[in-house]
Amino acid sequence: MKLKNDTPSTIDMRVKGMPGRMQPIPITDIGKQGWNLLREELTLPVAVLKNSALQHNSDWMRRFLAAGNCLFSPHGKTSMSPQLFEMQINDGAWGITLATSHQVQVARRFGFNRILLANQLVGKQAVAYIVEELRNDPDFDFYCLVDSVALVNNLAQAVREAGIARPLQVFLEVGCEGGRTGCRTYEQCMDVAQAIGDASPFLALRGIEGFEGLIPAQAGVAVEQQVRGFLDLMVKVAHQCDADQRFSAGPIILSAGGSAFYDLVVQSFADLALSQPYVIVTRSGCYLTHDASMYKRAFQKITDRSAQARELGDGFIPALEVWGYVISRPEAKKAILNVGKRDVSHDQLPLPQRWYRVDSKDKPQPLADAHVVTQLDDQHCHMTVPEDSPLQVGDMVQFGISHPCLTFDKWRVICLVDDDYNVTGAVETYF
Amino acid sequence: MKLKNDTPSTIDMRVKGMPGRMQPIPITDIGKQGWNLLREELTLPVAVLKNSALQHNSDWMRRFLAAGNCLFSPHGKTSMSPQLFEMQINDGAWGITLATSHQVQVARRFGFNRILLANQLVGKQAVAYIVEELRNDPDFDFYCLVDSVALVNNLAQAVREAGIARPLQVFLEVGCEGGRTGCRTYEQCMDVAQAIGDASPFLALRGIEGFEGLIPAQAGVAVEQQVRGFLDLMVKVAHQCDADQRFSAGPIILSAGGSAFYDLVVQSFADLALSQPYVIVTRSGCYLTHDASMYKRAFQKITDRSAQARELGDGFIPALEVWGYVISRPEAKKAILNVGKRDVSHDQLPLPQRWYRVDSKDKPQPLADAHVVTQLDDQHCHMTVPEDSPLQVGDMVQFGISHPCLTFDKWRVICLVDDDYNVTGAVETYF
C-alpha cells in the first residue's frame, strides 16, 4: 500500500532531536541532510531506529507466521507511526490492531482499511466516527470488542439509529478474574453472545478475542500453564458459539497474542473442529523494534518453548535506541546524563550499553556492566559508574530501552539510521 | 509580549482528544466550535485546563512574589506551552526557565528573549545553537549552569572559537552529595569559580544556582532543615565569589526554588550583605496548574510555614484534569477506564474525583473515596470500586493528576475550558 498523506509534515527545530540551526524541511528530506549521530549532527537526547534491525525483525516474524499458518495484525499502539504500519502491511500483515478511538482516527487518516480495535468502543464521538466511516467507505473493515450486554445494547442502538447498511463487526472478549476487560466466565460469555445475537442485524459476531499478556500471577502455577488455560477457555467459547450458530458469515476469527506468548496462541488454536472455516490472528506490537530487557527475556522463553522459532535462526534485534550526553560527573561513582522520563520508558530503567567519545575515530565501545541507571528524573538520568569509568562530560552514551511502547510515545519524529549512524530518513508518530 | 508565531498550527483528528469527524482548523479557532466536554463533543480520554484555576493561580503567585521582592522565572519544562509562557511573562515573569537545549529551541522560536537553562549546556549542536543566537540577536539574554572545570573549559573554547562579541553568562551550580548536578563542596565551587575567572572574557559569572527540590533524605533531619542548610551553602559561595570579585557586571543573581520550597528560598536569600546589588530568582514550574496530590501536599506545607502565604487567602487550585470513560465493569468491585500511562502521569496514580452520567441534567458528582486506581496500563486504568458504585459503562470520570510535568507531556493540544466545561480555546505543547 501507499500512505494516504497528501503533504509530508514540515519538520523544524521545535521537534525534539532536531538541530537548533536547521531550516524547516519536509520530513521526507531528513535522509538527504547528510546527518550522522556520532558526528553530533543531531541534538541529544535523541531516539533512533536502526534500519537493519527493523528489516531483520520484520523478516523473522513473516517467516514465523508463514510456518504457523496464522494471520497477523500487529498492534499499532506500540509505535503509532503510520510509516511503520505501512511497512507491516507491505510485509503481509492482515490488518492493524489499535487500542483507542484516537489511534483509529490516525490510522484511517493515513488510509488503513482493516482495523482491529482491541478494546471496547465507548463514547458518543468514538461510536459516531466509526459508524460514519462504515457508512462512507465500503472498504473499511473494522472490528471491535464487546464484553458486556450493556455495551452490546449501546452499540446496537447507535448502528440502528444511524441507519447504515451493514453491521458493526464485533469480537466477544474473554477475560480472566483480576484481569483487565473481558468476560470473566464461560456463562458471562454466553450471555454476551446471546445479546449479540439479539442485536442482529446491527451487530455481527465475527470472532472470539482475548489478551493473554496480563493474567494475574497465581502461586504455584507456571505462567505458560495459566496462558494455556486461558486460551482453552477461548476455544471452549468459540466451540459453543459455533454450535449455537452465533457467528455471522465469513471465517470465524480467533485472536489473541501480544508480544510474549504468540507461540502458545498458534499452538492452542491449531486444528480446531469448528463447523466453519476459521483463522487465527495474532497481534504482537513489540516484535518490530524489540527491546533490551522485558521482551528480550520474553523472546528467550519463546525460543525455549518453540522449535519452530528456534529453526528460524537469529532472533529479534533491538532496533530502538536512545542516546544522551554525560553532562556532569559530580561524584567519583556518579554520572548525570541528559536523558529523562520524558525521553525513555521508565517502567523499567534504561540500560546503558555503549559509549562514544566525540571527535574520536573509534566506534562506540561497550560500557562495563557496573554502569547502572539508578534513577530517572523528568530530564535527567542518574547513573552509578565504577571508579575507573571512562565517562567524561561530553561523552555520548547509548541506552537500550524497555519497553518500546513507552519510549515511542516520547518522540514525535524518530530518525532512521544505518549501522554507522548515518541518518537515512525518519518516521513520525501520532500520540 | 506577543508570541512570534507566523501561522497558527492546523489541528485535525490526528490530535489526541479531537473529535474524529472534525475538519482541520487553525488552533486559534478551537474556541469557536461550540464544543462542550460534558456533551461528549471531544474524544476521550482528554486533558483540559480550567481557565478560572489558571487565572487564580497566576494571580496568587504574582501577589506572593511581589510581597517577597523576588524575580520569577517559571520553569517552562512543566508545560512546554509557549502560550502559557506568554501568560507567565505577561503576569510579570522575569524570564523562562528551561531544562534542555530542545526546550530552548522551542522558546526561541516563539520569541522568548530571557532564558535560564537550569542545566549544564553540553553537546556540539546545543552549544553552537546558543552561540549563534547570542551572535545574531542582541536582545537574547541567556544563562546556563556550570558545575565542573571541564565544562567551563569546553564552553570557553566554543565561545572563543566562534568569535562572538559578548560572553556566555553562567551560574555556578551548587549541588549536594547524592544529588543531581552541581558542585558537592565549597572547595569544588571555588575551583569552578576560579576556572570561570580564567575563562574571561568568554564566560561571565552572573550568579549562584541550586535546586533544593531533590536533596536525598537524611534520617532524623527535617527536610526543611536540609533545604535551609543547602541554601546556606549557596549563600556562603555567593559571599566568597563576591569577596573574590568573581562576579561580572550587573546585579548578582541568586536562583533556587522549585515548586515545593520557594518560601524558604525567599527567606534564606533576604538581606544578604553583598558588595553589589543582587536579585533572587525563583523558578516554580508547577504552581500554574498545581495538582491533586504531590504539590497539594507541598503547598500545604508552604502555607503552614509562611505567614505571608497564608495572608494571600485561598491557595492554588488544580487546573489540569484528565477525563475518561468507564469502558467495562468486569467484576462487582472493578471498573476499567480508557485512561492509561500515555494519558496521565504515573509516578503517582491519578485520583478519580468526580463522575458524570452522559445525557443527564446533573453536574459532575463527587466519587466516593473507595474508588481507587490500582494500576495503569499503557491505555487502560484499573479502578477498584465499592459494590454500590454508581459507575456504568459509558459514564465519564474526572481524574486529578500528580504531577503536572508528566501529564502535560502526554498531550500535544490541551483544551481550555470554563467552569461548565465549554471549550474556550486550546494551548499547544512542544515535547
Contact state of A327 with B109 under an 8 Å Cβ cutoff: no
Per-residue model confidence (pLDDT) at position A403:
86
d(CA B98, CA B109): 14
Confirm or reject contact between A164 and chain B (CB < 8 A): no
Residues in B touching A180 (Cβ below 8 Å): 328, 330, 336, 377, 380, 382
CB contact B20 to A (< 8 Å): yes
Q: Could you tell me the sign of the dihedral formed by the alpha carbons of B25, B29, B31, B33, in that order?
A: negative
The answer to whether B129 contacts A181, with C-beta atoms less than 8 Å apart, is no
| B301 at interface of A, judged by CB pairs closer than 8 A | no
CA distance A341 to chain B (A): 8
When CB atoms are compared, the residue of A120, A342, A430 closest to B409 is A342
Closest partner CB to B342 (pick from A18, A175, A409):
A409
For residue B106, which residues of chain A lie inside 8 Å, CB to CB?
13-14
pLDDT of residue B1: 62
Q: Chain B partners of A326 at a C-beta cutoff of 8 Å?
A: 122
Partner-chain residue, chosen from B14, B41, B125, that has the shortest CB–CB distance to A20: B125
Measured in angstroms, the CA of A33 and the nearest CA of chain B are apart by 15
* Cβ–Cβ below 8 Å for A380 and B132: no
Asked if B380 and A329 come within 8 Å (Cβ–Cβ), the reply is no
Cβ(B194)–Cβ(B152) under 8 Å?
A: no
Contact at CB, B214 and A378, closer than 8 angstroms: no
Kindly give the confidence (pLDDT) of every residue in chain A, 431 residues in length, as a single tens digit, with 9 standing for 90 and above.
678 766 899 999 999 999 999 999 999 999 999 999 999 999 999 999 999 999 999 999 888 888 777 899 999 999 999 999 999 999 889 999 999 999 999 999 999 999 999 999 999 999 999 999 999 999 999 999 999 999 999 999 999 999 999 999 999 999 999 999 999 999 999 999 999 999 999 999 999 999 999 899 989 999 999 999 999 999 999 999 999 999 999 999 999 988 889 899 999 999 999 999 999 999 999 999 999 888 899 889 999 999 888 999 889 999 999 999 999 999 999 999 999 999 999 989 999 999 999 999 889 999 999 999 999 999 999 999 999 999 999 999 999 999 899 999 999 999 999 999 999 999 999 99
Q: Which of B140, B138, B157 is closest to B149 using CA atoms?
A: B157
> Looking at domain B10-50+318-428, which CATH architecture does it have?
Beta Barrel (2.40)
pLDDT digit string (tens) for chain B, length 431 residues:
677 766 899 999 999 999 999 999 999 999 999 999 999 999 999 999 999 999 999 999 888 888 777 899 999 999 999 999 999 999 889 999 999 999 999 999 999 999 999 999 999 999 999 999 999 999 999 999 999 999 999 999 999 999 999 999 999 999 999 999 999 999 999 999 999 999 999 999 999 999 999 899 989 999 999 999 999 999 999 999 999 999 999 999 999 988 889 899 999 999 999 999 999 999 999 999 999 888 899 889 999 999 888 999 889 999 999 999 999 999 999 999 999 999 999 989 999 999 999 999 889 999 999 999 999 999 999 999 999 999 999 999 999 999 899 999 999 999 999 999 999 999 999 99
Q: Report the CATH superfamily, name and number, of domain A51-311.
A: Alanine racemase (3.20.20.10)
Using CB atoms, pick whichever of A379, A392, A410 lies closest to residue B99: A379
Chain-chain contact of A13 with B105 (C-beta, under 8 angstroms)? yes
B184 to chain A: which residues are within 8 Å by CB?
Answer: 330-331
- Do the domains B51-311 and B10-50+318-428 match in fold? no
Task: Spell out which residues of chain A touch residue B406, defining contact as CB-CB under 8 Å.
Answer: 341-342, 378
A40-52 pLDDT, tens digit per residue, is 999 999 999 999 9
CB contact under 8 A, B378 and A405: yes
Domain ranges within chain B, ordered by starting residue: 10-50+318-428, 51-311
Alpha-carbon torsion, ordered A160, A165, A166, A167, to 10 deg: 10
Three-state secondary structure string covering chain B: CCCCCCCCCEECCCCCCCCCCCCCEEHHHHHHCCCECCCCCCCCCEEEEEHHHHHHHHHHHHHHHHHHCCEECCECCCCCCHHHHHHHHHCCCCCEEECCHHHHHHHHHCCCCEEEEEEECCCHHHHHHHHHHHHHCCCCEEEEEECCHHHHHHHHHHHHHHCCCCCEEEEEEECCCCCCCCECCHHHHHHHHHHHHHCCCCEEEEEEEECHHHCCCCCCCCHHHHHHHHHHHHHHHHHHHHHCCCCCCCCEEEECCCCCCHHHHHHHCCCCCCCCCEEEEECCCCCCCCCCCHHHHHHHHHHHHCHHHHCCCCCCCCCEEEEEEEEEEEECCEEEECCCCCCCCCCCCCEEEEEECCCCCCCCEECCCCCEEEEECCCCEEEECCCCCCCCCCCEEEEECCCCHHHHCCCCEEEEECCCCEEEEEEECCC
Is the CB of B140 inside 8 Å of chain A's CB atoms? no
Angle, helices B82-90/B101-109, rounded to nearest 10 degrees:
70
The residue of chain B nearest to residue A108, with distances taken between CA atoms, is: B14
